[in-house]
Amino acid sequence: MSRPGHNALAVVLVALALSYVGRTGLSSAALAHRSAAALADQSAVRPSYSQVTVTPNEAARRVDVSIGGRPFTSYIWPERLKKPVLYPLHSASGTLVTRGWPLDPRPGERVDHPHQVGLWFVYGDVNGVDFWNNSEARTPDEQAKMGTIVHRKIVDARGGADSGTLVVDMDWIGPGNVTFLHERATFVFRGDATGRTVERTATLTAADRRAVFNDNKEGLFGMRVARQLEQPTTTPDTFTDASGRATTVKVLDNTGVTGSYTSSEGKTGDAVWGTRSKWTMLTGQIGTEALTLAILDHPKNFGFPTHWHARGYGLFAANPIGQKALSEGKQPPLDITLAPGASVTLTYRLLILNGKATPDRLEREYTTFATGKDLP
């Protein structure tokens, strides 16, 4: 994230500039420009992050993350969910950017896709088993044919002056209680006065049998955003009322619905879906607050640059695998096959930024992510 400058450094630069004018013949305006440039360079090298706290509460099946003393998100694994997720997610000012339903319904939300909760990492076809669509809305018979991702343990949880880290182990369990995959997930949380980031690195290791991620559109690193960040639409749907009850609405009220996608390749709106790019951002406004959500694909990831399973109704996901599905059959299948004991590692970053970011801003953020220059 772009960072504010350091006041002490600014004072030193200005003082040097004033003492230097007479000896160089340069104008004070020119020196001021040089000082500002030096300050900007220094800010890029020394980002001003806020204190991060990471607090496990295993009895409550959660780990809470705060930045600068304000709640940011929680890693949760309640029994009613079929996978661990980060939920909810807040902006730097505290605004909720994820949908509340079905865990904490808010007025005016859609009541579709109950499996789309918070920020997740899951896939729709591993050895023919669907890990994406499983939820408590499924019947027991349906659930028995789907996959479940089970939290196993917290390996490490620590805060810090400029970042916090959470490392957890989980298993991908198929029908008959068969373990398909072991996953070690590492989350790095950072933030400042104007933004928040989550970086997730997932290492997936096949258990005692081959694991095949078959070409499928339902994947992989994704989130479900608040109603205000959806793209406006006129399609009838079902929404919650003030009491959380589901109501079918034939003519949608798009008041306050302001979202719009933009990819690094210049695609916008619905045209982003199924295309490939190294990043995509979703800009919009919640109340009076302009916001940008962006997902960045690491250049070392399988399938880079990723395809985007980005829907106007608020699903925002990066899927590097489903090439045939997301090209609607125009390209050949793209699968991941892991022999027993073999692994694949994927890394993504989510940005939650104040204001409406420009493509140039996202390019700078992407360069920082891809080169690792913001690591403490």
Each residue of 287-320: pLDDT tens digit?
Answer: 999 999 999 999 999 999 999 999 999 999 999 9
Q: How confident is the model at residue 244 (pLDDT cuts 50, 70, 90)?
A: low
At position 48, the amino acid (one-letter code) is S
128 and 222 both lie in a single domain = yes
Higher pLDDT, 322 or 21: 322
- Least confident range from 3-7, 56-60, 184-188: namely 3-7
39 and 58 both lie in a single domain = no
CATH number at residue 245: 2.70.98
- C-alpha distances (whole Å) from 45 to each of 2, 3, 5, 35, 41 are 10, 10, 11, 15, 6
Q: What is the reported pLDDT for 1? A: 66
- pTM equals 0.85
Residue 259 has pLDDT above 90, yes or no: yes
Chain centroid to CA 290: how far?
18
Residue of 83, 81, 80, 78 whose CA lies nearest to 61: 78
Q: Is the dihedral of CA 250, 251, 254, 259 positive or negative?
A: positive
Q: What is the reported pLDDT for 108? A: 86
Q: How confident is the model at residue 267 (pLDDT cuts 50, 70, 90)?
A: very high
Residue 4 has pLDDT above 60, yes or no: no
> In terms of residue numbers, what domain contains 15?
7-45
Query: What integer is the mean pLDDT of 128-151?
Result: 95
Q: What is the reported pLDDT for 234? A: 73
Query: What integer is the mean pLDDT of 123-140?
Result: 95
Query: What integer is the mean pLDDT of 271-282?
Result: 97
Q: What is the reported pLDDT for 47? A: 57
198 and 82 both lie in a single domain = yes
27 and 172 both lie in a single domain = no
- Least confident range from 84-93, 170-179, 253-262: namely 253-262
12 and 99 both lie in a single domain = no
30 and 123 both lie in a single domain = no
Task: Determine contact, residues 96/70, Cβ cutoff 8 Å.
Answer: no
303-306's contacts with Cβ under 8 Å and 24+ in sequence apart are 303/334, 304/278, 305/264, 305/276, 305/277, 305/278, 306/276, 306/277, 306/278
Residue 146 has pLDDT above 80, yes or no: yes
| Integer Cα distance of 369 and 373 in angstroms | 7
256 and 235 both lie in a single domain = yes
- 10 Å CB burial of residue 360 (0-12, 13-18, 19+) is exposed
Residue 17 has pLDDT above 60, yes or no: no
Please count the CA atoms within 13 angstroms of the CA of 357 that sit on its side-chain side: 30
- C-alpha distances (whole Å) from 49 to each of 2, 62, 96, 259 are 10, 24, 21, 28
Q: What is the reported pLDDT for 249? A: 60
- The total number of structural domains in the chain stands at 2
Q: What is the reported pLDDT for 38? A: 39
32 and 106 both lie in a single domain = no
233 and 306 both lie in a single domain = yes
Residue 29 has pLDDT above 80, yes or no: no
Residue of 308, 309, 295 whose CA lies nearest to 348: 295
199 and 254 both lie in a single domain = yes
Q: What is the reported pLDDT for 111? A: 87
28-45 helix and 7-24 helix, angle to the nearest 10 degrees: 150
Task: Determine contact, residues 153/79, Cβ cutoff 8 Å.
Answer: no
> If you search the block for the tokens 């916090």, which residue do you land on?
164
Chain centroid to CA 363: how far?
17
Q: What is the reported pLDDT for 373? A: 86
Query: What integer is the mean pLDDT of 361-369?
Result: 97
| Integer Cα distance of 38 and 45 in angstroms | 11
Q: What is the reported pLDDT for 292? A: 98
Q: What is the reported pLDDT for 375? A: 72
Percentage with pLDDT > 70 across the chain: 83
271 and 316 both lie in a single domain = yes
In-domain check, residue 2: no
Q: How confident is the model at residue 251 (pLDDT cuts 50, 70, 90)?
A: low
In-domain check, residue 339: yes
- C-alpha distances (whole Å) from 8 to each of 5, 14, 41, 194, 246 are 9, 10, 15, 20, 55
Q: How confident is the model at residue 233 (pLDDT cuts 50, 70, 90)?
A: confident
Q: What is the reported pLDDT for 253? A: 77
In-domain check, residue 13: yes
In-domain check, residue 360: yes
Q: What is the reported pLDDT for 130? A: 97
Task: Determine contact, residues 223/349, Cβ cutoff 8 Å.
Answer: no
In-domain check, residue 116: yes
| Integer Cα distance of 118 and 107 in angstroms | 17
216 and 231 both lie in a single domain = yes
- C-alpha distances (whole Å) from 227 to each of 139, 258, 334 are 27, 9, 32
- 10 Å CB burial of residue 163 (0-12, 13-18, 19+) is buried
In-domain check, residue 105: yes
Residue 3 has pLDDT above 70, yes or no: no
Chain centroid to CA 256: how far?
23
pLDDT mean across residues, the chain = 88
**Residues, the chain, total?**
376
Q: What is the reported pLDDT for 7? A: 43
In-domain check, residue 1: no
In-domain check, residue 376: no
